[in-house]
Structure 1
Amino acid sequence: MKNNELQNLDEPKETSFANKTLGRRSFLQFAGASAAGVALLAAGCSKDRGDLSMPTMGGATLDFKDDFGVLNYAYALEQLEAAFYIKVASALPSAFTTQQKAYFQDIQFHELAHREFFKNALGTAAIGSLEVDFSSIDFTSASSVLAASMAFEDLGVAAYNGAGVRIKTDAYLTLAGKIVSVEARHAAYIRDQISNGSFADLGTLSALGSDNANALDGALTPDKVLAIAGKYIKTKINVINL
C-alpha cells in the first residue's frame, strides 16, 4: 500500500460510513449517551489535572500521568482496530462464508462504537486521528485477514488488562472491563475460525503474558503494546510519564 493510500481516520467518506452503519445498529446513540457520563467525570477531574493540552512533540502524545493518558491510549488502539475492520468490510475476502462476512461486519460496528465512545468522552482532551499502514496485510486473503484480526484482538485484550492497574477512577475501570470482555469475545470467535475449538486456547498466548495453568489472559504494559502495534501505525506516538 502506498503512503498516499493510507487511510486518515477522519476522512469524510469514512465518517459518513460510520454514521450510517452505527445509526442502523444504534451504536452511536449508545456511545453518545454513555460518553456523556464519562465526560462529566472527566470535566471534574480536569480541575486537578490543569491544562489538558498535550506537549507539542509532533505526532500524538500519550501522557500517562493520569486517567486521561489511559483513555487516550485506549482511544488510539480503538482507532487502529476500527480502521482495520473498515478495510476488511470494504474488501471481504471472497473465501469468507456469508456468516463470516456478517460476523466481521458486526465486529466492525463494535470497534467503531468503541472508537466513537472514547472520542466523544474525551472531547478536547482526545488525541488526533492516527494514520495507519496496513500494507503488510492482504485484505483479499481470508487467511491473512484472520491472522491479522487474531493479532489485533489478542493484543487488545492484553492491552486493556495491562492498563487496568493504571486507572484511578472506578467508572473508567468499569468501562474498561466492559470493553475488554467484548474484545475477548472477538478474539475467541476469530481463533475458532482459524482452528475450530481453539477459542479458549491460552497456551499460544504466552508472548502476551497469558497464564495457561491458572486460566488467566495476558496483560501487557502500554510500552510493550505500542511496540507491537507500531507496525501498523504511521503516526508517531510519544509516550511520557509512563
Structure 2
Amino acid sequence: MRNVHQLALLALSSYAVAAPLVSAPWKVGKRQVESQMNDIDILRYALTLEHLEDKFYREGLANFTQGDFAQAGFDSTFYQNVQAISAHETAHVQFLTAALKAAGYAPTVECTYAFGISTVEQFVATASILEGVGQAAYLGAAPQVSSKTILGAAGSILTIEARHDAYLRAALSQSPFPQANDDALTPDEVHTMAHGFIVSCPAGNPSFGVKAFPGLAVTTTGKITSGMTIALSTAGFALAPADSKAHLYAAFITALGPDFAPLTPSGDGENFQVTVPIGVNGQSYLLLTNCNDTVSDSSVVAGPTFLEITNNPLNTTLSGKKA
C-alpha cells in the first residue's frame, strides 16, 4: 500500500499544531503552559474538537460505501469498526453537550467544515491523524483542569481516542504504539492544526480564546526517519533577507519537552531544511521557534505541523531518545 499519510497531508499541509510546554530538567528544552482557560472553557474546547471529528466521520461514511472501502483494500470488519468509531464521536458530542448544559452553560454547536477528502485512503489516513491530534489535545489540557470530575470524564474519552488511533494506525501498516510516551498539544497548537478545516461557525458559539499560528508544512514526500534531512515551507511567515542570520530553530514536540534542531534557510525566507533528531518516532509535531531553550506562544513563529516518522519502536526509550 502506498504511503497514505502523504495523502492525508494534502488536506493538512497548510495547517499546524504545537504542545503544552512541560518543564523537564533532564532535557534542554522546556514547554510552558500559557493558557488561561478555565474548566468550562476546556469543556467547550473539547466539544469543538469532538464536533469536528463527529462531522468528519459522518461525512466520510456518507460519501464512501462499504464497497468503496473494499476497493481500497479495507475489509468489512474494518468498515464496521469505522462505523463504531463514528458512533463514539457522536456519543462524545452528546456527553460533553449534556455536561455543559447540566452545569448551566451554553455548549458550542457544530460548525461548517471543508475536509478536502476525495478517496477512502485519504479519509482513513486523515482519520488517523485527527485521532492522534485529539488524544494530544486531551492530554495537553489535562494539567489545566481543576475539577477531578471533569478530569475523570475527559480521561474516559482520551483512552477511547487512543484506541481509535492505535486501530487506525495498525490498519495503515503503522506501529499502533510507536513511542513509550504520547505527545501533548496546547489549545493554540491544536487550533492551528484544526482551523483550516473550519469554514464558518455560528455567531452565537461561545468563545474560549484560542489563536492560530502561521502555517507550516513538511514538503518532503515519502518515508521520513530519524536522522533524515527534510524540507519545510511556511505560510503567513517569511524570514526577511535582512534577517537571514536570525536564529530560528525547529522544535520537535516530545512528551518530556521539545527536541530542538537548527534550521537551514533555502534563500526565499519561506523554505527551510532540518534534520530530524534521533529518537523522535511515530505521529509527531514540529514547529518553528526563535528560541532553543523554551517553547511558548511568544516564541513560536510558525506551525506546528504533522509528520509521520517511521522508525523501529523498539529503538526508543521512555524519554523518546534512541536506546
TM-score, normalised to structure 1's length? 0.63
Partner of 1:235 in structure 2? 200
Pick aligned residue for 1:137 from 99, 117, 137: 117
- After the TM superposition, which parts of structure 1 deviate over 6 Å for at least 4 consecutive aligned residues? none
Q: How many Å separate the matches in 2 of 1:217 and 1:67?
A: 23
Q: CA deviation at 1:147?
A: 1.1
TM-score, normalised to structure 2's length? 0.48
Q: How many Å separate the matches in 2 of 1:67 and 1:114?
A: 17
Compare CA radii of gyration and give the structure with the larger one.
Answer: 2
The answer to whether the 8 Å contact 1:163/1:221 transfers is: yes
Pick aligned residue for 2:57 from 77, 85, 89: 85
The answer to whether the 8 Å contact 1:159/1:222 transfers is: yes
Q: CA deviation at 1:239?
A: 4.3
Q: Secondary structure at the match of 1:240?
A: coil
Q: CA deviation at 1:142?
A: 2.5
Q: Does 1:126 align with 2:107?
A: yes
Query: Residue 194 and residue 127 in structure 1: after superposition, are their counterparts in 2 closer, same or farther (change >3 A)?
Result: same
The answer to whether the 8 Å contact 1:160/1:180 transfers is: yes
Q: Which amino acid aligns with 2:117?
A: I
Q: CA deviation at 1:191?
A: 0.3
Query: Structure 2 unaligned runs (5+)?
Result: 1-34, 212-323
Query: Residue 148 and residue 65 in structure 1: after superposition, are their counterparts in 2 closer, same or farther (change >3 A)?
Result: closer
Provide the aligned C-alpha RMSD in A. Answer: 2.0
Pick aligned residue for 1:191 from 142, 160, 169: 169
The answer to whether the 8 Å contact 2:50/2:92 transfers is: yes
Q: Secondary structure at the match of 1:188?
A: helix
Q: How many Å separate the matches in 2 of 1:176 and 1:241?
A: 19
Partner of 1:37 in structure 2? none
The answer to whether the 8 Å contact 2:52/2:110 transfers is: no
The answer to whether the 8 Å contact 1:68/1:125 transfers is: no
Match runs of 1:212-231 below 5 Å: 215-231=180-196
Q: CA deviation at 1:78?
A: 0.3
Count of aligned residue pairs for this structure pair? 164
Query: Mean alpha-carbon deviation: is it higher for 96-105 or for 118-127?
Result: 118-127
Query: Structure 1 unaligned runs (5+)?
Result: 1-62, 203-214
String of CA shifts for 1:71-117, please: whole Å, max 9, x gaps: 00000000000001101221233433211110100000100000111
Q: How many Å separate the matches in 1 of 2:141 and 2:200?
A: 21
